[in-house]
């Protein structure tokens, strides 16, 4: 295989966005992906472009999520102009539905605190039962209120991935599937990457392998502290539109099907669906919208989130190996414009912008020995 200026390892939403950004900026980039047997959150996620509640423990993450969500409209338009693919980006807002007064109060307090610390202030409305029922007449009798924000939205994650890949190829990038990376090392002034398809040499390497980063990034002294967190999702048959904006764990697609679930479980690398969790997901969804009870479930699946210890992205680069980068992110759909934009430009120019990424360094996990 020929040498490439940049090699991105991992063809999920993060790797595809970075590769697209690099290729569009004129860099020679090759994207290596393991293939169908890999864990791929990009193909099993919910598709939310979500801000509400993001960054509760790290204001810089709240700011990054909000700024990037604001960039999504132009990003979707740019992708469509580049590829002809409409990724179904919509921004009607989103809400947390609350089933008890305590939950409503706790969420309201948490979001107020988060907004106070964030540099980019978000509009957040606390809605009584009557107010949410006016906006979403289908809510059930157990709903006591909701928290609404106009900044949230969604996109079709599969169209997004397809558009990113199509654009990558259009701008001269190369995509190699079935290229599981086994090892990465420095060789002379560049990197040697051994894959199932043979060795590849490059000047810069970007680890975007999702859960695969945990094993790969440390080979160059980079950190990717990620663990799998399983989410299970159900999809119903298509129905007339009743959900004009998303609820954190329920959304209706443009085609009419409803996605719900998004449970959260520590199940190691087991990505099977389980009946008890699917049943609980369905129960909660039916409590919020009783009309869902009569719908047929047409599909269900589970996928593994790429979770860092605090849920905040980890972006790593070291002085010892300056042209290697590791990006480990849970919200890869939401952050796609950032990865394709500022992040790709920083990588092309040879270094992460420390002002931008310092709060996301893995150094935050270093604890002093007692
Ligand atoms: C249930 C669920 C719901 C989610 N909902 C949302 C949401 O609503 N909004 C949002 O923004 N995000 C959501 N996410 C997260 C989102 O899916 C991920 O952040 C996104 O997919 C990007 O992840 P990634 O590209 O880092 O990893 P992945 O998508 O997992 O891709 C990693 C890629 O690396 C490749 N790879 C791994 N190891 C190797 C190797 N050794 N060699 C070569 N290639 C390798 C794999 O083949 C894979 O294609 C959700 C995730 C889950 C699981």
How far is CA 212 from its chain centroid? 16
The CB of 263 under 6 Å from ligand 1? The reply is: no
How far is the C-alpha of 165 from the C-alpha of 159, rounded, in Å? 10
Predicted model pTM: 0.96
The CB of 47 under 6 Å from ligand 1? The reply is: yes
What is the 8-class DSSP label of residue 90? B
Asked if the model's pLDDT at residue 366 lies above 70, the reply is yes
- Condensed to tens digits (0 to 9), the pLDDT of residues 316-328 reads 998 888 899 999 9
How far is the C-alpha of 305 from the C-alpha of 360, rounded, in Å? 18
Cα 59 to ligand 1 centroid, rounded to whole Å: 24
Cα 10 to ligand 1 centroid, rounded to whole Å: 9
Per-residue buried b or exposed e for 3-16, using 16+ beta carbons within 10 Å of the residue's own CB: ebebbbbbbbbbbb
- Condensed to tens digits (0 to 9), the pLDDT of residues 125-163 reads 999 999 999 999 999 999 999 999 999 999 999 999 999
Cβ–Cβ under 8 Å, residues 68 and 334: yes
- Condensed to tens digits (0 to 9), the pLDDT of residues 163-211 reads 999 999 999 999 999 999 999 999 988 999 999 989 999 999 999 999 9
pLDDT at 370: 53
Could you list the beta-strand ranges (E) of 10-152. 29-32, 48-49, 94-98, 125-128, 145-149
Cα 266 to ligand 1 centroid, rounded to whole Å: 17
Cα 160 to ligand 1 centroid, rounded to whole Å: 13
Atom of ligand 1 nearest to the CA of 182: 41
pLDDT category at 354 given cuts 50, 70, 90 is confident
- Condensed to tens digits (0 to 9), the pLDDT of residues 239-289 reads 999 999 989 889 999 999 999 987 999 999 999 999 999 999 999 999 999
């Amino acid at each position: 295989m020929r040498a490439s200026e940049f090699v991105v390892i991992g063809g999920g939403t993060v790797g595809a966005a970075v590769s697209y950004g690099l290729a569009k900026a004129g860099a020679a980039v090759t994207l290596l992906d393991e293939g169908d047997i890999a864990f791929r959150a990009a193909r099993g996620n919910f598709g939310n472009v979500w801000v509400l509640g993001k960054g509760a423990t790290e204001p810089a993450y709240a700011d990054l999520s909000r700024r990037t969500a604001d960039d999504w409209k132009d990003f979707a338009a740019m992708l469509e102009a580049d590829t002809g693919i409409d990724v179904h980006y919509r921004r009607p807002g989103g809400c947390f539905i609350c089933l008890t007064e305590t939950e409503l109060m706790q969420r309201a307090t948490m979001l107020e605190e988060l907004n106070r610390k964030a540099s980019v202030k978000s509009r957040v409305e606390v809605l009584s039962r009557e107010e949410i029922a006016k906006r979403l007449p289908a809510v059930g009798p157990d709903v006591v209120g909701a928290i609404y924000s106009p900044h949230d939205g969604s996109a079709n994650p599969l169209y997004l991935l397809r558009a990113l890949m199509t654009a990558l190829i259009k701008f001269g990038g190369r995509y190699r599937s079935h290229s599981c990376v086994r090892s990465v090392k420095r060789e002379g002034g560049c990197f040697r990457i051994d894959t199932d398809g043979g060795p590849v040499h490059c000047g810069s390497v970007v680890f975007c392998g999702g859960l695969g980063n945990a094993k790969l990034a440390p080979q160059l002294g980079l950190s990717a502290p990620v663990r799998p967190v399983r989410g299970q999702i159900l999809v119903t048959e298509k129905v007339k539109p009743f959900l004009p904006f998303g609820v954190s764990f329920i959304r209706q697609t443009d085609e009419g099907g409803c996605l719900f679930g998004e449970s959260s479980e520590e199940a190691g690398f087991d990505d099977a669906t389980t009946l008890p969790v699917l049943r609980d997901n369905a129960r909660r969804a039916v409590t919020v919208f009783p009309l869902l009870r009569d719908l047929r479930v047409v599909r269900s699946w589970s996928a593994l989130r790429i979770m860092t210890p605090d849920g905040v992205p980890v972006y790593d680069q070291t002085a010892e190996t300056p042209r290697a980068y590791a990006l480990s992110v849970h919200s890869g759909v939401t952050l796609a414009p950032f990865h394709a934009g500022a992040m790709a430009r920083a990588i092309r120019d040879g270094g992460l912008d420390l002002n931008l990424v310092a709060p996301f360094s893995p150094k935050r996990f270093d604890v002093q020995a007692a």
